[in-house]
């Protein structure tokens, strides 16, 4: 894939973030999502590739649902994982840690995950190779602390603030590690484990499987590590996994199972302030956005701050 494609893709996350940010704190999750989807799909139509959505919106009528084709060219042919807003409800309530994110990779190289839950454990470069999702939280935290040369009391674990994580939280507190609870945005939480300027050492817990694919693509670019497995609420969830062509329902997925190959790119733009990026800042006649772009082939990480003048930009 052409390296300039990464710069094309950041325009897509910027557009979605700009339009979603207008509905920050206005209490209308559906309207925020609708506008972000519309902006993202329109900018995607200007990108020179043939993109297959393998992890998109869980609505067959959406232009960004699984199986839809994006772009205005026949080559290169790529897979796309996306979320116009990671943290819809949080954004609508005026909350913290929401982003727009996209991962692209060679066709056939990212896991086609259904819209169910996934248990995840993610770490940065120093923790690579020491995590094991089949082991207890206590064992994994001790291993990461040892690998990073930290006391257990100095390890910070990021967890989604959900009732299902009550036991996990109690066990980690009993061990003595620190906890960062987030309302939404476990993509940001996973990526933060691999960045030097954040306090997060690990991400643990259960979140969306499709968000897990985006997290894996970014962590691969950052030399991090991740393991995951599907969590089934009922028989219907198991049937969804089987429909994706997956027969081993208890499989443990490594980072390379979730996102493989060298041609992987990731882009995210902040909507509201969070662990990973500042949010959109509106000003007279325009706005400022903050984005991160990663490319696995070269391990390049770029932070882009852009000023958008609305009088000169297309209306998405």
Q: What percent of the chain has pLDDT over 70?
A: 98
Residue 316, pLDDT score: 54
What's the pLDDT tens digit per position in 83-96?
999 999 999 999 99
Residue 1 has pLDDT above 80, yes or no: no
Can you tell me whether residue 300 is helix, strand or coil?
strand
Residue 245, pLDDT score: 87
Residue 104, pLDDT score: 96
Degrees to nearest 5, angle at CA 100 with 94 and 106: 165
In sequence order, what are the beta bridge partners of 169? Answer: none
- List the end-to-end C-alpha distance of the chain, in Å, as a whole number: 26
Q: What is the average pLDDT score of the chain?
A: 94
Per-residue pLDDT, averaged over 167-182, amounts to 97
User: What are the φ and ψ backbone dihedral angles of 90, each rounded to 5 degrees?
Assistant: -65, -45
For the full predicted model, state whether its pTM sits above 0.85: yes
Residue 5, pLDDT score: 86
Residue 195 has pLDDT above 70, yes or no: yes
Domain with CATH 3.40.190.90 in the chain: 117-258
Domain 117-258 sits in CATH at: 3.40.190.90
| Closest CA relative to residue 29, chosen from 74, 77, 85 | 85
Determine the length of the chain. Answer: 316
Residue 261, pLDDT score: 86
Residue 313, pLDDT score: 66
The tokens for 97 are 């840690």
The sign one gets for the Cα dihedral 32, 33, 36, 39 is negative
Residue 201 has pLDDT above 80, yes or no: yes
Q: What percent of the chain has pLDDT over 90?
A: 88
What's the gap between Cα 311 and its chain centre? 31
The sign one gets for the Cα dihedral 21, 23, 28, 33 is negative
Burial of 247 (0-12, 13-18, 19+ CB in 10 A): exposed
Q: CATH top-level class for 5-107+263-312?
A: alpha beta
Is it true that the peptide bond before 76 is cis, omega within 30 degrees of 0? yes
User: Under a CB-based contact definition with an 8 Å cutoff, are residues 235 and 135 in contact?
Assistant: no
Domain with CATH 3.30.540.10 in the chain: 5-107+263-312
């Amino acid at each position: 894939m052409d390296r300039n494609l990464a710069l094309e893709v950041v325009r897509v996350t910027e557009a979605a973030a700009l339009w979603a940010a207008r509905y920050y704190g206005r209490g209308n999750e559906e309207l925020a999502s609708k506008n972000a989807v519309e902006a993202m799909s329109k900018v995607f139509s200007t990108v020179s590739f043939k993109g297959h959505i393998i992890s998109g919106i869980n609505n067959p009528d959406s232009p960004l649902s699984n199986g839809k084709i994006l772009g205005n060219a026949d080559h290169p042919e790529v897979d796309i994982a996306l979320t116009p807003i990671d943290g819809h409800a949080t954004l609508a309530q005026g909350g913290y840690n929401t982003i727009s994110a996209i991962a692209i990779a060679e066709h056939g190289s990212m896991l086609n995950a259904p819209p169910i839950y996934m248990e995840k454990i993610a770490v940065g470069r120093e923790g690579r190779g020491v995590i094991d999702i089949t082991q207890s939280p206590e064992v994994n935290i001790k291993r990461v602390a040892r690998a990073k040369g930290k006391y257990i009391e100095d390890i910070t674990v990021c967890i989604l603030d959900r009732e299902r994580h009550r036991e996990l939280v109690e066990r980690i507190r009993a061990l003595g590690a620190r906890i960062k609870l987030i309302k939404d945005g476990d993509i940001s939480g996973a990526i933060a484990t691999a960045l030097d300027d954040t306090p997060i050492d690990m991400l643990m817990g259960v979140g969306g499987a499709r968000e897990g694919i985006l997290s894996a693509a970014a962590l691969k670019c950052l030399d991090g590590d991740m393991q995951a497995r599907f969590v089934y609420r009922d028989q219907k969830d198991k049937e969804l996994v089987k429909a994706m062509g997956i027969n081993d329902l208890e499989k443990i997925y490594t980072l390379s199972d979730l996102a493989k190959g060298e041609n992987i790119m990731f882009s995210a733009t902040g909507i509201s302030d969070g662990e990973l990026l500042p949010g959109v800042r509106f000003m007279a006649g325009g706005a400022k956005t903050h984005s991160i772009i990663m490319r696995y082939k070269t391990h390049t990480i770029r932070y882009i701050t852009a000023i958008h003048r609305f009088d000169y930009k297309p209306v998405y």
